[in-house]
Amino acid sequence: MRWWKSSAKVKQESAVPGSERRREPRIGAKFKVRYSGSDGDNIIIGHGTIVDLSRYGFRIEGNKRVREGMELGLFLELPDLESPLCIPQAVVSWVDGRRFGVELRADRNKNPEWLEHLSE
């Protein structure tokens, strides 16, 4: 069974009513990620850890600050892959210091490629 279909692994958090924006289950995770993008004339290249994920979004703790609305390229270091998996279009949806959330711009009618590397 895949993790996103298993209610046993879904992370439960109490939140202020109306503040939850995710429509998909999520799990806690620890995956290394590199990210890059531009903020005006500045190029940002950072690395961090994905600490929470769902099918179409991640929470990242990074070493470089980003701003809401930035488009980033992500390079995930996943188990059993020799080279990082590239996700070319992720948009920063919220920022809290060096923690931030990204929404993945993917076809919602099919599973994201990276998801296949996390199946049980």
pTM of whole model > 0.75?
A: no
Kindly report the average pLDDT of the chain as a whole number: 76
Question: Across the chain, how many H-helices and E-strands are there?
Answer: 0, 6
The residue ranges of the chain whose pLDDT is under 70 are: 1-28, 106-120
Architecture of domain 25-118: Beta Barrel (2.40)
- How confident is the model over 94-110, as pLDDT tens digits? 999 999 999 987 666 66
Amino acid at 63: N
User: What is the C-alpha to C-alpha distance for residues 72 and 89, in angstroms, rounded to an integer?
Assistant: 6
